[in-house]
Amino acid sequence: MTEAAATGTLEQALAHAARLLERDPTLAAEQLGEILQVAPGHAPALQLLAAARLLLGDLSGALAILVPLAQARPEWAAIHLDLGLALARGGRGQEAIAALRRAVALQPGLPQAWRALGDCLMAAGEQEAADAAYASHVRHSTRDPQLLDAAVALVENRIPEAEALLRAQLKRAPTDVAAIRMFAEVAARLGRNEDALNLLERCLELAPGFREARRNYALVLHRSNRPEQALAEIERLLAADPADVGCRNLKAVVLCRVGDYEPAIRIYAELLESYPDTPKLWVSYGHALKTAGHLERAIAAYRRSLELEPSFGEVWWSLANLKTFRFGADELAAMRAQLARADLAGDDRLHLEFAVGKALEDAGEYGPSFRHYAQGNAIRRTQLDYSADDTSARVRYIRGRYTREFFVARAGSGCPAPDPIFVVGLPRAGSTLVEQILSSHSQVEGTMELPEVTSITRLLRQQGDADEVMPYHAALAALDAAALRALGERYLAHTRIQRKTAAPLFIDKMPNNFMHVGLIQLMLPNAKIIDARRHPMACGFSAFKQHFARGQGFSYDLADIGRYYRDYVALMAHFDAVLPGRVHRVVYERMVEDTEGEVRRLLDYCGLPFEAACLRFFENTRPVRTASSEQVRQPIYREGVDHWRHYAAWLEPLVSALGPVLESYPEAPEGM
């Protein structure tokens, strides 16, 4: 037989084995074994044999072929794809990511590799990288030239161009589900989550089996503060593929959002078996453990993350942010060594500045500590578009709009349910302590800083006239009694998932809701509102040395903090005047000096009988999701009241900005 004939016969045998794979993998494996006896080491035959073994459930047998084959053929993209898929199936997530990255580096036009890479990255907690991989999957899975151009624009973050191309495509083909899904991604990137949800709902109506669209739908639901619906979509995805690691990670994230920490912790622990060398996954695990009160396990998780990535600033700050944790000398040296690196990423540097500031504060080195805090704040301030003038203008507008007559005209409106207790004020003012005390009462459940009021303000803003100075407030003022009642009922319905017990009352501890007292009064007139107030120097400096995960843009400049505190005092004084007795104020220093007396007054305001458990709040084991989580698991201590004085020499900008508010504390200045 000639060489050409032998080659032809071999190709025919391989083609026949490939056809056998799906309908009879056992027979295919037998034929491939025969081929390999004739042609030992034949790479395409080995690839097919590995595929046959996978279909037969022999994962270890498939990997025994794929691992050495990938080593022998480092330039062969398809074999790295197969290896990545097999490793992912075997729970070897980190190795799978490496193999899939190799595959797409060798051959970028492999849509299956991009999608699998996105799944693995999502499971590993690498959300941004996963989003980029999914975008590349869209780009490389389409053959339509119009969609291809839009996909390229989307991958390269040329959003206006992508939007224009997709609008044109959907005008031509309104039922193009791939285009609808991509248009939803554009809407999500522009922050138009409602539009994204509507588009994805239409996409799934046309193509219920479009798995990637359903995954996007679940993610946007989560980001839109609709955790119950997000979980329903995630469960639907997992019912079809229980091993979907990306969906399992998203489920853990959403479970943490709704306060179901123990099942989330179990999911993270399982994912870490497959992705043991993933720093971000260890951080997510540590956050869940910390909030659930498993402090030692959380510290161990954070330290494991740092072993894998010593420059990971967020982890150093997570340790510092435990408040009761103390760094050792070797850990301080390690942080300083990272800060000395010229190639340190900006986000890592930001977090490390705050962490080193905390370590030096604990060591009593207040001057160097302040310098690190100031540097961390300066870095963060450049990243934000915060305007103290805008905040002051908003407060002036609210004070002018929400008058006594305004509320009298709307008396009797809203939902009469008394369930929520809103704890408002500034961050680091003692609101977590108030929450912990109240949630120790048998009739009160603590939840978290709920984002629902903010979601409602966003909804009203969209309904308002864009030409209005403050469209949210204008839209709210235009609502009738039925619409205001509907808002209150919406609030209760959307927060129901956060309530785990039969307690009749629950706490919403979003401090920034002090800006929305008017809305709360109109939609939930029988809800309680508690203003947690702390000395402006103690509160202001505590905010300055705290790096918040999100929001609180005012807190990264001492003058901005002082002005924000003044605006807060002015606004609360206004509501005290137009709604006398509506808001109960808890002054932190009074709570420290006369805990029982203040607790009794607090419970009286809430219409609750005194319970001794409220004085032993530190024994309450419920999850706490704020920077004070460890502090409120201890008895009240006085040391924190005047701690700011160690830094008094550097706080003149705060003093100047506070003006007369400082002298009049805890009352508002006359005439404010």
For tokens 């991009």, name the residue.
114
Per residue in 201-234, pLDDT (tens digit) is 999 999 898 888 999 999 999 998 899 999 999 9
Q: How far is the C-alpha of 570 from the C-alpha of 553, rounded, in Å?
A: 19
Higher pLDDT, 366 or 21: 366
Beta bridge partners, 506, equal 420, 445
Higher pLDDT, 176 or 603: 603
Listing DSSP states for 531-587 in one string gives EEE--HHHHHHHHHT---SS--GGGGSHHHHHHHHHHHHHHHHHHHHHSTTSEEEEE
Q: Mean pLDDT across the stretch 262-287?
A: 94
Closest CA to 317 of 352, 289, 284: 352
Show the tokens assigned to 570.
Answer: 């002015």
Closest CA to 286 of 247, 318, 260: 318
Whether the pLDDT of residue 1 is over 70: the answer is no
Q: How far is CA 375 from the centre of its chain?
A: 25
Torsion sign over Cα 611, 615, 616, 622: positive
For tokens 């995630």, name the residue.
234
For tokens 């509907």, name the residue.
486
Per residue in 292-341, pLDDT (tens digit) is 889 999 999 999 999 999 999 999 999 999 978 999 999 999 999 999 99
Q: Mean pLDDT across the stretch 40-55?
A: 86
Show the tokens assigned to 23.
Answer: 């309908």
Q: What is the pLDDT of residue 26?
A: 87
- Cis check for the bond before 669: say yes or no (omega within 30 of 0): no
What's the angle, vertex CA 449, arms to CA 615 and CA 601, rounded to 5?
30
CATH architecture of the domain with residue range 417-664 = 3-Layer(aba) Sandwich (3.40)
Q: How far is CA 84 from CA 58, 118, 126, 166, in A?
A: 16, 12, 17, 32
Higher pLDDT, 97 or 672: 97
Q: How far is the C-alpha of 537 from the C-alpha of 548, rounded, in Å?
A: 18
Per residue in 122-156, pLDDT (tens digit) is 888 887 888 788 778 777 777 667 778 888 888 78
- Contact between 62 and 86 under an 8 Å Cβ cutoff? The reply is yes
Q: What is the pLDDT of residue 6?
A: 43
Show the tokens assigned to 511.
Answer: 């401090």
Q: How far is the C-alpha of 370 from the C-alpha of 177, rounded, in Å?
A: 55
Show the tokens assigned to 166.
Answer: 């997709």
Q: How far is the C-alpha of 589 from the C-alpha of 598, rounded, in Å?
A: 10
Res. 568 pLDDT band, cuts 50 70 90: very high
Q: Which helix (H) or strand (E) holds 160?
A: helix 159-172
Q: How far is the C-alpha of 139 from the C-alpha of 77, rounded, in Å?
A: 18
Q: How far is the C-alpha of 380 from the C-alpha of 544, rounded, in Å?
A: 11
Closest CA to 135 of 156, 161, 110, 165: 156
Tell the burial category of 275 from Cβ atoms under 10 Å away from its Cβ (0-12, 13-18, 19+): buried
Q: What is the DSSP letter of 76?
A: -
- Contact between 442 and 611 under an 8 Å Cβ cutoff? The reply is yes
Q: Mean pLDDT across the stretch 540-552?
A: 92
Show the tokens assigned to 7.
Answer: 């080659």
Other Cβ atoms less than 10 A from the Cβ of 574: the count is 21
Res. 384 pLDDT band, cuts 50 70 90: very high
- Contact between 645 and 542 under an 8 Å Cβ cutoff? The reply is no
Per residue in 346-364, pLDDT (tens digit) is 999 999 999 999 999 999 9
Q: What is the pLDDT of residue 635?
A: 60
Whether the pLDDT of residue 4 is over 90: the answer is no
Res. 639 pLDDT band, cuts 50 70 90: low
Other Cβ atoms less than 10 A from the Cβ of 174: the count is 11
On the CB side of 215, how many CA atoms lie within 13 Å of its CA?
Answer: 22
Q: How far is the C-alpha of 507 from the C-alpha of 519, rounded, in Å?
A: 17
Beta bridge partners, 531, equal 424, 585
Higher pLDDT, 243 or 101: 101
Q: How far is the C-alpha of 252 from the C-alpha of 283, rounded, in Å?
A: 13
Q: What is the pLDDT of residue 212?
A: 86
Whether the pLDDT of residue 631 is over 60: the answer is no
Count of H-run helices and E-run strands, the chain: 35, 5
Show the tokens assigned to 403.
Answer: 């008058």
Q: How far is the C-alpha of 74 from the C-alpha of 70, rounded, in Å?
A: 6
Q: What is the pLDDT of residue 130?
A: 84
Higher pLDDT, 56 or 514: 514
Q: Mean pLDDT across the stretch 442-469?
A: 89
Show the tokens assigned to 453.
Answer: 């009021």
Q: How far is the C-alpha of 433 from the C-alpha of 599, rounded, in Å?
A: 11
- For the full predicted model, state whether its pTM sits above 0.75: yes
Show the tokens assigned to 313.
Answer: 């600033």
CB neighbour list of residue 537: distance below 8 Å, 6 or more residues apart = 644, 645, 648, 651, 654, 655, 658, 662
Three-state DSSP at 521 gives helix
For tokens 């099942």, name the residue.
263
Closest CA to 359 of 350, 367, 351, 369: 369
